[in-house]
């Protein structure tokens, strides 16, 4: 089925706003087994929108239009859609009531301009917008079904997922239940993951499960896309593949689906009624900010310290080194972690030390990384070398530090070799 | 002049990659006084690209094509362009030499597949790519000039700015020198900035300078877009407007053009051979990470500490409070800054304390912010209240803290009221 996306709005056309609505819609269609064949962007201009609608109607089996459903004069989608379909606009009294109720719940009177949002082309079917005043609708234009969505991303995403995708699946004759199962790994590159998972999709009958990767260094996302007629059938197809992927990727899986590496760490700390303090070097504070940004981070992260000066970090940890000097090595990482834990009264401490060599203007930099972790009874260290741009080393060091803490908390070895390290 | 942008590539069409090339090109065109009238996205499919080229040729006065110039079989732009123009492809020996030289400089032999990148439609003019192997070119298709650019953002941006924009300006008959002057402010909302700058563009003759705003909370970007026949004329037009904008926005200007607030702080610290230590609360470490991320940050930021627990921060600063307890107030902010400066041996210390109240699930949160700054001789405090989402309060507190430090370093008052604060 040929599906087209038509995005309208001067903000998008002129590049003032990056068109993430497009990539979201196209990506979601791919995940449920549909494909986009053509994308069009036009501004808030009557003639151009009209021409774009007619062209799409002539080419596509279904068209999703985004934007132009707001209350202002430059919101033209309903009007132009009516013109293109050869029908007139009519007030939908039920939707007008919805808008009035929306305002009255907020203690305000509906501005008269919003009445425009309840004017729909005759013959259109409402696509409900449970969180806004812009009314979505579907309408046949020259025999092609069009689906109209608002430009506000939150509203569009909800309506697209819950109402438009099911209608498109219906039209396509595809089986109608679908899901994307996601695994997030750290330490495996895309080509090795591809090798490791050879033959795994074949565990499901009839090519029902598709495997895909999305690499965003330092993590890799492995996606299993599955479709079926019923949820039971879908789960039956997915289950053997999901189990086998989990087995093969093993300890490298840092989180699944909507979870994150940092959230897994906080969950484990919460289960143990624990807390953590961090020291980090060269990483711009990303270790602590990742943990603080996750749910519960504010109360489980006792203290985070960042500096590029190891003496400053030693002082911050309360580490007495009697003027002997400190250097980026495993012993120092472990000693700093022990001092820091004591000083902050936390149950755990994580230390990420990075020593970078190589001229940034002359190619790659070499980052020597030393990680130290202590808890109430145990102390572990991890050393690794990463080579690449400063940012590559930085992101890798942050992920390695967090992943070592995750592995330690879940009883996994912290020294399993990762694809990115050298030597 | 009607300019169209035609973006090709499965990664873009399917939404796997967000199309920032489109927004960059469209935005740059707007900045030099040109406008985009239509955007098209198609995949790596011969028939679709062909149809898209013919449609664009029929509608537009000029078309910029992005993507499809690589060495692989799914890179189709040259081939389809030749077909659409009714010409054949021919090897460009000079460009082939360029590719070979590119590889030999890197100690490698050119893979044979790259030969394809030197095959150009007969009659096309080369658009040089100084940093890659994909050859840009221009070609007339059915009487409309087309400009072909590679999908690699870095290459596209350079070629677009240096070679395509001048050609488009030539075609448009517009005056050919242009510039965008940018002011970054903190503390003024878009509507107040608009009022403050009433009549200012009129200081330049003939509407030669256009004023625009781009709001990205907590900063506002004010843009002056100017065009002229010569650089001298352009500067003559811009100068009175630029001076007046700088006068009216005054202390709220945190940086201009490519500069940033944090870089201004580091520049001032470097001039004074100074350094800074930071303590922050509720901000996820963004104060120190902003400073550390700027050039020179690594050596000027002695230490950054983050926690949501004020006792932890007091201990980190070495602040003795004899069990009396600490609270988020101006006195504590100043006292922590003084202790921290002494402990870290820095010339300056910045403390950002935030106390948040209000249930996050029930509407807006109220953030009481207290900022303390000390240097070798002086101590200043700033208090403010921000109301909004947790993230709104957090971003505002970070910016306010950094801006107070900037103001202090440059001898400006830190207590000038900002539009976002309450009470």
Phi, psi (5° rounding) for residue B68?
85, 15
**pLDDT tens profile B201-256:** 899 887 889 898 888 899 999 999 888 888 999 999 999 999 999 999 999 999 99
Q: Which of B44, B285, B298, B345 to mutate to test the interface with A (most CBs of A within 10 A)?
A: B285
With a cut of 70, say whether residue B278 has pLDDT above it. yes
pLDDT the model gives residue A323: 64
- What's the pLDDT at B216? 85
Residue (of A282, A236, A285, A292) closest to A262 by Cα position = A292
Mean pLDDT of B340-346: 97
For the record, the structure tokens of A274 come out as 């624990």
Top pLDDT among A277 and B191 is at A277
Give the integer Cα–Cα distance in Å for B420 and B186: 10
A149, β-bridge pairs: A66
Contact between residue B62 and residue B144 where contact means Cβ atoms under 8 Å apart: yes
Classify each residue of A33-55 as buried b or exposed e, where b means 16 or more C-beta atoms within 10 Å of its C-beta: ebebbbbbbbbbbeebbbbbbeb
* Band of pLDDT at residue B362, cut at 50, 70 and 90: low
Structure tokens at B370: 């207290």
DSSP B423: -
pLDDT value of position B171: 94
Give the residue from chain A lying closest to B281, CA to CA: A298
CB contact under 8 A, B14 and A22: no
> What is the mean pLDDT of the segment spanning A236-251?
96
- Give the mean model confidence (pLDDT) for residues A205-233: 88
Percent of chain A with pLDDT over 90: 80
Q: Is A281 on the interface with B (CB under 8 A)?
A: no
pLDDT of B151 higher than 70: yes
Give the phi and the psi of residue B22 in degrees, each rounded to 5: -60, -50
Contact A376/B at CB under 8 A: no
Best B17, B54, B280, B306 member to test A by mutation, with max A CBs in 10 Å, is B306
Q: Does A18 touch chain B (CB under 8 A)?
A: yes
Best residue of A180, A297, A304, A313 to probe chain B, by most B CBs closer than 10 Å = A304
Nearest CA in chain A to B40: A40
Structure tokens at A320: 């007495």
3-state helix, strand, coil in chain A (%, to 5): 45, 25, 30
pLDDT above 80 (res A298) = yes
Give chain B's domains with CATH numbers. 3-172 (3.40.980.10), 177-256 (3.30.70.2860), 261-409 (3.90.950.20)
Is residue B288 within 8 A of residue A306, CB to CB? The reply is yes
pLDDT, mean of residues A260-270: 98
- The rounded mean pLDDT for chain B is 93
How far does the CA of residue B201 sit from the closest CA of chain A (Å)?
Answer: 21
Query: Distance from B91 to chain A by nearest Cα, in Å?
Result: 31
Q: Complex ipTM above 0.85?
A: no
- CB contacts, 8 Å: A343 with chain B: 315
pLDDT at A376 (0 to 100) = 92
Residue B146 phi, psi dihedral angles, 5° rounding: -110, 140
Which chain A residues touch B37 with a CB distance below 8 Å? 13, 42-43, 48
In B, which residues are within 8 Å of A214 by CB distance? 16
In chain B, what percentage of residues exceed pLDDT 90? 80
* Residues A368, A393 contacting (CB under 8 angstroms): no
**CB contact B113 to A (< 8 Å):** no
Q: Is the pLDDT confidence value at B175 over 80?
A: no
Compute CA B387 distance to the chain's CA centroid, rounded to the nearest angstrom. Answer: 27
Query: Do residues B325 and B352 touch, judged by C-beta distance below 8 A?
Result: no
Contacts of A292 in chain B (CB under 8 A): 284-285, 306, 308
Contact criterion met (CB < 8 Å) for B41 and A22: yes
CB–CB contact B302 A304 (8 Å): no
> Do the Cβ atoms of A48 and A41 come closer than 8 Å?
no
Angle at B287 between CA B284 and CA B291, to 5 degrees: 135
What pLDDT is stored for residue B398 in this prediction?
A: 98
Confidence of residue A106 (pLDDT cuts 50, 70, 90): confident
Residues of chain B numbered 308-327 and touching chain A (CB < 8 Å):
308-309, 312-313, 315-316
Chain A interface includes B360 (CB < 8 A): no
Identify each DSSP E strand in A245-394 by its residue range.
Answer: 253-256, 276-280, 301-306, 348-357, 365-374, 379-388
Per the CB < 8 Å rule, is A30 touching B15? yes
Rounded Cα gap, residues A180 and A183, in angstroms: 10
Determine the pLDDT at residue A320.
83
Q: What is the pLDDT of residues B21-77, one digit of tens each?
A: 999 999 999 988 899 999 999 999 999 999 999 999 999 999 999 999 998 888 999
pLDDT at A121: 98
B160 touches chain A (CB under 8 A): no
Q: Which among B6, B13, B46 is the top mutation candidate for probing chain A, defined by the most A β-carbons within 10 Å of its own β-carbon?
A: B13
pLDDT at A261: 98
Among B278, B293, B303, which would you mutate to test the A interface (most chain A Cβ atoms within 10 Å of its Cβ)?
B303
Q: Flag whether residue A15 sits within 8 Å of chain B, measured between CB atoms.
A: yes
Cβ separation A284–B293 shorter than 8 A: yes
> Does B266 touch chain A if contact means CB atoms closer than 8 Å?
no
Condensed to tens digits (0 to 9), the pLDDT of residues A39-88 reads 999 999 999 999 999 999 999 999 999 999 998 888 999 999 999 999 99
Do B98 and B58 form a contact (C-beta atoms < 8 A)? no
| Interchain contact, A303 vs B305, CB within 8 Å | yes
Name the residue among A72, A90, A88 with its Cα closest to residue A80: A88
Output the pLDDT for position B339: 97
3-state secondary structure of B388: strand
Among A78-87, A185-194, B155-164, the least confident range: A185-194
What local confidence, expressed as pLDDT, does residue B322 receive?
Answer: 64
Taking an 8 Å cut-off on Cβ atoms, the answer to whether A284 and B282 are in contact is no
- pLDDT confidence of residue B20: 97
Which pLDDT band holds residue A140 (cuts at 50, 70, 90)?
Answer: very high
- Identify the pLDDT of residue A173: 84
Shortest Cα–Cα distance, B102 to chain A (Å): 16
- Per cent of chain B over pLDDT 70 is 98
Separation between Cα atoms, residue B253 and residue B54, nearest integer Å: 48
Sheet holding A348-357, edge to edge: A379-388, A365-374, A348-357, A276-280, A301-306, B301-306, B276-280, B348-357, B365-374, B379-388
Chain A contact for B37 (CB, 8 A cutoff): yes
Residue A283, pLDDT above cutoff 90? yes
* Dist. CA B217–CA B235, nearest whole Å: 30
Tell me the nearest-neighbour CA distance from A313 into chain B, angstroms: 8
Distance separating alpha carbons of residues A289 and A303, to the nearest angstrom = 11
Residue of B nearest to A294 (CA): B284
**Percent of chain A at pLDDT exceeding 70:** 98
Shortest Cα distance, chain A CAs vs residue B255, angstroms: 21
Nearest CA in chain B to A394: B293
User: Euclidean distance between the first and final Cα of chain B, in Å?
Assistant: 50
CB-CB neighbors (< 8 A) of B288 in chain A: 284-285, 306
Mode of pairing for the β-strands spanning B177-186 and B219-228: antiparallel
Q: Is B35 on the interface with A (CB under 8 A)?
A: yes
Judge whether A41 is closer than 8 Å to chain B, CB to CB: yes
- Predicted confidence at residue B323, as pLDDT, reads 64
Considering only the beta carbons, identify the residue of B14, B289, B303 that sits closest to A307: B303
Q: List A residues 48-67 in contact with B (Cβ-Cβ < 8 A).
A: 48, 52, 55
């Amino acid at each position: 089925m040929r599906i087209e996306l038509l995005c309208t709005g001067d903000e998008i056309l002129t590049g003032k706003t990056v068109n993430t609505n497009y990539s979201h819609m196209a990506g979601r269609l791919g995940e449920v087994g549909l494909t986009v064949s053509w994308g069009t962007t036009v501004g808030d201009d009557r003639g151009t929108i009209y021409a774009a609608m007619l062209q799409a109607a002539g080419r596509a089996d279904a068209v999703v239009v985004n934007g132009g459903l707001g209350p202002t004069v430059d919101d033209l989608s309903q009007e132009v859609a009516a013109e293109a379909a050869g029908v007139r606009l009519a007030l939908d009294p039920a939707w007008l009531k919805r808008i009035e109720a929306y305002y009255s719940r907020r203690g305000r009177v509906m501005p008269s301009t919003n009445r425009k949002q309840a004017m729909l082309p005759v013959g259109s079917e409402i696509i409900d917008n449970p969180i806004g005043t812009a009314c979505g609708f579907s309408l046949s234009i020259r025999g092609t079904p069009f689906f109209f969505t608002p430009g506000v991303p939150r509203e569009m995403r909800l309506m697209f997922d819950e109402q438009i995708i099911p209608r498109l699946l219906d039209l396509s004759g595809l089986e109608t239940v679908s899901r994307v199962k996601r695994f997030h790994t750290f330490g495996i590159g895309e080509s090795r993951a591809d090798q490791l998972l050879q033959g795994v999709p074949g565990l499901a009958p009839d090519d029902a499960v598709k495997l895909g990767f999305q690499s965003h260094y330092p993590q890799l996302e492995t996606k299993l896309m599955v479709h079926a007629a019923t949820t039971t059938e879908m789960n039956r197809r997915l289950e053997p593949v999901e189990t086998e992927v989990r087995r093969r990727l093993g300890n490298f899986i840092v989180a699944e689906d909507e979870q994150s590496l940092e959230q897994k760490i906080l969950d484990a700390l919460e289960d143990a009624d624990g807390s953590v303090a961090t020291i980090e070097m060269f990483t711009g504070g990303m270790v602590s900010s990742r943990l603080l940004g996750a749910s519960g981070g504010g109360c489980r992260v006792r203290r985070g310290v960042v500096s590029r000066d190891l003496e400053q970090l030693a002082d911050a940890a309360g580490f007495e080194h009697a003027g002997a000097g400190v250097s980026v090595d495993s012993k120092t990482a472990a000693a700093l972690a022990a001092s820091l834990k004591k000083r902050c009264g936390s149950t755990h401490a994580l230390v990420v030390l990075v020593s970078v060599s190589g001229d940034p203007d002359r190619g790659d930099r070499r980052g020597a990384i030393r990680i130290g972790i202590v808890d109430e009874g145990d102390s572990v260290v991890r050393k690794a070398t990463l080579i690449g741009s400063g940012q590559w080393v930085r992101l890798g060091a942050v992920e390695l530090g967090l992943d070592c803490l995750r592995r330690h908390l879940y009883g996994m070895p912290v020294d399993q070799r990762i694809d990115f390290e050298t030597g």
